[in-house]
Amino acid sequence: MSYDLLIVGSGSAGVAAALEAAAKGAKAAVVEVGVLGGTCVNVGCVPSKALLRAAEAHHRAAHHGFAGIKTQALGVNLKEVIGQKDALVEALRQEKYAEVLEAAGVPVLRGGARFLDGETLEVGGRPLKASRYLLATVAHPTLPPIPGLEGSRPWSYLEALSPDSQPESLLVIGGGPIGLELAQAYARLGTQVTVLEALPYLLPSEDPELSTLLRGYLEAEGLAIHTDVRVLRVGREEGYRVETNRGVFVAERLLVATGRRARTEGLELERAGVERDERGFIRVDEHLKTTNPQVFAAGDVAGLPQFVYVAALSGRMAARNALGEPTPLDLSALPRVTFTDPALAAVGLDEAEARKRHGAGVRTATLPLTAVPKALVAQDTRGAFKIVVDGEGTVLGLHILAPEAGDVLQEGILAVKFGLSYRDLVDTFHPYLTLAEGIRLVAQALDTEVGMLSCCA
């Protein structure tokens, strides 16, 4: 059979590409050897956030700031929590992947895929031809080269999302988004959690000022956090023993959350002339074309930022490019959210990078959540807003540490994308008693002492 576009991988990038191709009248098919849906719905965004929300519900039952309100957390049945999470995953996999592809008329071809040459893909032993191919396989967890680690069979996020039982204690190697989200979730469910991070502060890709605030909130909840830690060796007897430059740490379970690598095993990319970079990700240009002009790549396997919305957008763009509509992928206003509580959401440049690129004219303002009326009435003032502008006042970055920070960030994304001035934010209506009002207030803080304003001025 001959296709206009043959897509390997049924995750967000692959399905987005398939729907784009079908909408344009192209003959497309999706190849999948495993479970339909890829990382996000099966072992990523959906299950992790379901676990986070369950843990938050338990935590909130015993921790709130309202006088006269007596509540208590009565216990956790992790098996039931995981069961509800699994049911949600199964439902979304069927509704948002299987049924969507079927409705679009895109078949799913079952079987492993490998290139026979630069123009032929074998699927389940059948050689298939297509005008263009799109590789949209996933990335999966990788272990750092620490003596004793691989043989100790630690958890990755895969095992942490579907545990056979709840550990009494947990060591987490890695203070990035995945490590912190799961660390806080397990801590709130009753596990004693210790986080070990190699760099000087948590969330190394984020603004240090807000990252430092977040660390304090996590420690206040009982998490033990150690930075500047170099792990020397891992051993296992009944539990785990981790030797570091900061001493020895022991726990019942060990979670390693230090990185992911592209899954390209078995594709035999060299037969198709498709090159990978030094990290193992497929090389692509701005149009997502590989070193073989007939083959495109999108999502995690292409070495793009590992967010599901990047995967979906790159899948759509790759399909357009493969079908002859040149469309470069634009990542200039890329948002990122770490779903801790409070969450840390950001877009654009942080202060250090802005000064490096734009010089001494860069200005910043930081607004504590104690200056945001919504936070005051909610009795939860954990967090801050931070804005970064250039010498002309153009918004270069917005950083928010607050409950549901990701839901508030969209205005900042538009400001960075379209080059708005902070004065545009000041002069735009922001409903009173919403967290979004903090964006106006932090923009005003560049020129004004916010504490001297009236409550809604």
Q: 159-174: per-residue pLDDT in tens?
A: 999 999 999 999 999 9
Predicted local confidence at residue 363, as pLDDT: 98
Tokens standing for residue 274: 């498709």
Please report, to the nearest 10 degrees, the dihedral formed by the alpha carbons of residues 235, 236, 240, 245 taken in order: -10
pLDDT in tens, 194-249: 999 999 999 999 999 999 999 999 999 999 999 999 999 999 988 999 999 999 99
Predicted local confidence at residue 457, as pLDDT: 67
Predicted local confidence at residue 454, as pLDDT: 72
Predicted local confidence at residue 338, as pLDDT: 98
Is-contact 37 93, C-beta < 8 A? yes
Give the residue from 30, 162, 170 showing the smallest Cα distance to 100.
30
How far apart (Å, rounded) are the C-alpha atoms in residues 365 and 425?
A: 14
How far apart (Å, rounded) are the C-alpha atoms in residues 210 and 226?
A: 17
Element (H, E) at 411: helix 410-417
How far apart (Å, rounded) are the C-alpha atoms in residues 370 and 367?
A: 8
Q: What is the average per-residue pLDDT within 115-134? A: 96
Tokens standing for residue 364: 């910043």
What is the per-residue burial (b if ≥16 Cβ within 10 Å, else e) of 266-305? ebbbeebebebeeeebbebeebbbbebebbbbbbbbbbbe
How far apart (Å, rounded) are the C-alpha atoms in residues 447 and 78?
A: 50
pLDDT-derived band at 102 (thresholds 50, 70, 90) equals very high
Q: What is the average per-residue pLDDT within 376-403? A: 98
Burial of residue 402, with CB atoms counted within 10 A of its CB: 0-12 exposed, 13-18 middle, 19 or more buried: buried
Predicted local confidence at residue 237, as pLDDT: 85
| DSSP state string for 28-49 | EEEEESS-TTHHHHHHSHHHHH
pLDDT-derived band at 92 (thresholds 50, 70, 90) equals very high
Q: How far is CA 380 from the centre of its chain?
A: 25
Predicted local confidence at residue 4, as pLDDT: 98
pLDDT in tens, 293-347: 999 999 999 999 999 999 999 999 999 999 999 999 999 999 999 999 999 999 9
Coil vs helix vs strand at 14? helix
Q: Which runs of consecutive H residues, i.e. helices, occur in 202-241?
A: 208-220
How far apart (Å, rounded) are the C-alpha atoms in residues 139 and 141?
A: 7
Predicted local confidence at residue 238, as pLDDT: 87
pLDDT in tens, 4-30: 999 999 999 999 999 999 999 999 999
Q: What is the average per-residue pLDDT within 384-406? A: 98
Is-contact 266 112, C-beta < 8 A? yes
| pTM of the model as a whole | 0.95
Coil vs helix vs strand at 428? coil
How far apart (Å, rounded) are the C-alpha atoms in residues 28 and 56?
A: 42
Mean pLDDT taken over the chain: 96
Paired strand residues for 173 = 196, 256
Predicted local confidence at residue 451, as pLDDT: 80
Query: Which domains are assigned to the chain?
Result: 2-141+261-322 (3.50.50.60), 150-258 (3.50.50.60), 335-452 (3.30.390.30)
pLDDT in tens, 31-47: 999 999 999 999 999 99
pLDDT at 357 over 90: yes
How far apart (Å, rounded) are the C-alpha atoms in residues 251 and 374?
A: 40
pLDDT at 80 over 70: yes
